[in-house]
Amino acid sequence: RKEVEQDPGPFNVPEGATVAFNCTYSNSASQSFFWYRQDCRKEPKLLMSVYSSGNEDGRFTAQLNRASQYISLLIRDSKLSDSATYLCLGWKLSFGAGTTVTVRA
């Protein structure tokens, strides 16, 4: 079983909608998690870290649920520019396969 697994989507949402998706992890000892954004097979770039207390950055909110062993990313008021693949990074350099989000006008 992969260390980190994601719902691949795709999530196709209208502008202004809220979209949320999860990433599950298998190693309960995992301490640090991150969300990365990847555009059109370019290099992934850090979107935000995921803290135990949650993390919010503008329209983006990341949460960690240790009891159920998943992290989540919520995007509010979606913009066309949010269309991308979102990757979660977990324990020991393990990435999820990515969740594709497409925001339509």
Partner 1 sequence: NAGVTQTPKFQVLKTGQSMTLQCAQDMNHEYMSWYRQDPGMGLRLIHYSVGAGITDQGEVPNGYNVSRSTTEDFPLRLLSAAPSQTSVYFCASSSGLAGETQYFGPGTRLLVL
28 binds partner 1 (CB under 8 A): no
1 binds partner 1 (CB under 8 A): no
Report the C-alpha gap between 60 and 80 in whole angstroms. Answer: 14
Candidates 10-18, 54-62, 71-79, 92-100; binding stretch for partner 1 (CB under 8 A): 92-100
6 binds partner 1 (CB under 8 A): yes
Burial class (CB in 10 A: 0-12, 13-18, 19+), 73: buried
31 binds partner 1 (CB under 8 A): yes
Residues that bind partner 1 (CB under 8 A): 6, 8, 31-32, 34, 36, 41-46, 49, 87, 89, 91-98
